[in-house]
Amino acid sequence: MSLPVGATIGILGGGQLGRMLASAAAKLGFRTIVFAPGEGLPAAQMASQHMDADYSEADALEAFAAACEVVTLEWENVPVAALDVITSA
């Protein structure tokens, strides 16, 4: 799959790996949205946008999915139910 420059990459999780992904994406001309609960997260500091919401908030997950061309996981502990909401949106 090829993404056009300027496309938005959604990142589930806000840790160091997400920070590195957001930084690399920005250098390549992509926007990033980090979805993770909490403030001051490493990935959120580099992302174009941060959605501070819990993984159980279906409305927030749907809005996140709608704003992204592609979504990836920054860590392995994202609840499966959250992925179900995203793939259904």
pLDDT value at 1 more than 90:
no
Q: List all residues 6 or more positions away from 23 whose beta carbon is below 8 Å from its beta carbon.
A: 46
- pTM beyond 0.85: the answer is yes
Q: Summarize pLDDT for 26-60 with one digit per residue, the tens.
A: 999 999 999 999 999 999 999 999 999 999 999 99
Six token digits for residue 39: 């403030």
* Closest to 84 (Cα-Cα) out of 68, 63, 61: 61
Q: Would you say 62 and 52 are in contact if contact means Cβ atoms under 8 Å apart?
A: no
Calpha distance 16→19 (Å, rounded): 5
Percent of the chain having pLDDT more than 70?
99
